[in-house]
Structures are given as C-alpha cells and as structure tokens.
Amino acid sequence: MATSHRELFLRNPDVDKIIYHRQPFIDRWLRKGLPLMRFNQAVYDPSRDADEAPMDHILIEMCQRANITGMVELRPYLFLTPKEFAAGRLGKDQVVMQSSNLSVPNPMQNREWYPDRFQEVCTRLRDHVSVVQVGALSDPTLEGAIDMRGKTTSRQTAAILAQSLVFVGLAGFLMHLARAVDCRSVIVYGGREKPSQTGYVANKNLYGQVRCAPCWLRNPCEFNRKCMSMITVKDVIAATAEQIGRYGTPLEVQTAVL
C-alpha cells in the first residue's frame, strides 16, 4: 500500500508492506509503467464544482478497479492495539459528535448540516451520556462536550470511536473511520449523495429526498440546501436513541459478489 496516511494501515493483516509517498512519487511510478491502481472515489468536474456520481457503491467500484472478484464486505477495517483501544475511553457512556467537515482538503458546503442544530443535539444528549467532540480545531465548538478537536491523531480518534455508543456526524472521513472500528453512526446525509452510494447499512442515514437529489454538487445549490434543512434535531435525536439501543449487537454488513 503506497499512501501518505500509513497509520490507517498499521497492523492490517491484508497489507504486506506500507510505502509512505508524496504525490509526485506516485506520478513518477505511473510514468514508468509500474502496476499501480488509483483508488479515487470519483471524477471531479471543476466547471460544475461537482463529482461524477458512481454507478454503484464506491467500495464496489474500487474493488472492480483492482480486479477483485468474489464476495466482498462493503466496509473498511482499522486495527487498534489493546493499549490504543483502552485509551479511547474518555467518559461513561460516551457518544462522539462532530460539528463540521469544512477543514478537510476538499470542503463541501453541501455536506454540512447546521452548527446550532448540532449544538442542540449535544445539549439534549449530555444529560444522559458523555459527549465527546472530535474534528479540527476550527470546527464550531459544541458547548458541554469533552473537547478533543485538533488533539488526536487518526488512530486516537478511531480508538475514541471504538469505545463509544454511537457517532453522530456527517458523510466523510469520520463516518468511514467509525465503521472501520465497528462504531454505529447517525449520519446527516442531506441530499448531495445517496447513502447507498457511499454509506453503510449499519448506520442510520438521514437522507433528504428532494427532487434534485442526489446532485453530487460540492458547494453550489439553487434551492438553499433544502435537503439539509428538512432534517431536524428531532430526527437526529430519535436516530441516535435507536442506535444507542442497538449498542452491543453485531453490526449489519452489506456484501456484494463481483
């Protein structure tokens, strides 16, 4: 595995060797004709500020590009040490939340919910559970949460998720990280993309079914992001309670035969 995020593949029994790289290195290898396979999720169209919608789940398409055949489980994996796992416990009955995804290299307004609504969810949850906020230091603060913004590595964040009842957040890296360590999630999808294209069946995926969805636009929207505004605090609280009630049961796994 050639990657700039080697920490995500440590202890993975399916990876024989991890090679740290910067992008120009990969380009040079490709020019030399080495058998490398890029696992980009989508093709970006800058003229529309949009990604090309996948025909199937992104994990199916990645496997097909790698010429993988047979039955595959549509989920990622991350392997923690016992010490890492133990360090992820920060409070009793902890729930992990994020308030924004705008700090990522390719920020998308159309994946954002509303910080004030996340705050209301946090306020209503914290009387019953320990809320832990993860993400970037620039993310809007959730008052009353254990503030871990900007204080954790990817593996430390994974350990916090692994020790939690549920993750409440947005479509993006933390959603995938949570599934990689078997943490159920409540994902506020809106309508940019369908959960069946990028998500996981073990999660409660709140999809805004409007006429223009899924649009796969990153930032522009002619309809004031109605697909996001229609998802209420009540919806998120109800989904979170449902997921907490399923804590300790095996997570459902979608499979595909390639």
Q: What is the pTM of this model?
A: 0.94
For the chain, the first-to-last Cα distance in angstroms comes to 22
The pLDDT of residue 2 is: 81
Calculate mean pLDDT across residues 84-104: 97
Structure tokens at 101: 């995804």
How much is the pLDDT for 43? 87
Which residues form the domain of 24? Answer: 1-36
Based on the fold, state whether residues 19 and 113 are members of the same structural domain: no
Pair (92, 215) in one structural domain: yes
Same domain, 94 and 213: yes
Q: Is the model's pLDDT at 26 over the cut of 80?
A: no
Flag whether 64 is in a domain: no
132 lies in the same domain as 214: yes
Q: How many CB atoms lie within 10 A of CB 69?
A: 10
The CA distance from 42 to 61, in Å, is 10
Question: Mean per-residue pLDDT for 228-244?
Answer: 98
153, 214: one domain: yes
Task: Round to whole Å and give the CA distance between 193 and 173.
Answer: 15
pLDDT for the residue 9: 96
Q: Is residue 65 part of a domain?
A: no
DSSP 17-46: --EE--HHHHHHHHHTT-------S--EET
CA dist., res. 190 & res. 221, Å (int): 12
pLDDT at 3: 85
Q: Please give the DSSP secondary-structure letter assigned to residue 251.
A: P
Looking at residue 19, its pLDDT comes to 84
Looking at the structure, tell me whether residues 117 and 237 fall in a common domain.
yes
With cut-offs at 50, 70 and 90, classify the pLDDT of residue 28.
confident
230 found inside a domain: yes
Q: Quick one: pLDDT band at residue 24, thresholds 50, 70, 90?
A: low
Do both 129 and 235 map to the same domain? yes
Residue 80 covered by a domain: no
In a domain, residue 11? The reply is yes
Cβ neighbors of 58 (< 8 A, separation 6 or more) are 41, 42, 197, 198
More confident residue, 37 or 151: 151
Widest Cα–Cα separation across the chain: 59
Residue 206 pLDDT exceeds 70: yes
Distance, CA of 194 to CA of 14 (rounded, Å):
29
Least confident segment among 34-43, 47-56, 62-71, 82-91? 34-43
β-strand 19-20 against 44-45: which pairing, if any?
A: unpaired
**CATH number for position 182:** 3.40.50.2000
Mean pLDDT, rounded, of the chain: 94
Q: Specify whether 8 is located in the same domain as 121.
A: no
pLDDT tens-digit series, residues 128-163? 999 999 999 999 999 999 999 999 999 999 999 999
Judgement on whether residues 104 and 178 belong to the same structural domain of the protein: yes
Tell whether 113 and 18 lie within a shared domain: no
Residue 7, in any domain of the structure: yes
Work out how many domains the chain is built from and give that number.
2
Shared domain for 106 and 188, answered yes or no, is yes
Instruction: Examine the domain organization and report whether 145 and 212 are in the same domain.
Output: yes
What's the pLDDT band for 41 if we cut at 50, 70, 90? low
Side chain identity at 10, as an amino acid letter? L
pLDDT at 42: 74
Residue (of 149, 57, 154, 184) closest to 175 by Cα position: 184
Determine the average pLDDT of the residues in 57-74.
93
pLDDT in tens, 104-129: 999 999 999 999 999 999 999 999 99
**What does residue 206 show for φ and ψ, rounded to 5 degrees?**
-95, 100
Residue 168 lies in a domain: yes
CA distance 214 to 171: 13
pLDDT of residue 32: 80
Mean pLDDT of 169-190: 98
Percent of the chain with pLDDT over 90: 87
Q: Does residue 222 carry a pLDDT above 70?
A: yes
- 138-159: b (≥16 Cβ within 10 Å) or e: ebbebeebbbbbeebeebbbbb
Return the higher-pLDDT residue of 144 and 28: 144
Q: Residue 116, Cβ neighbours under 10 Å: how many?
A: 10
In-domain check, residue 79: no
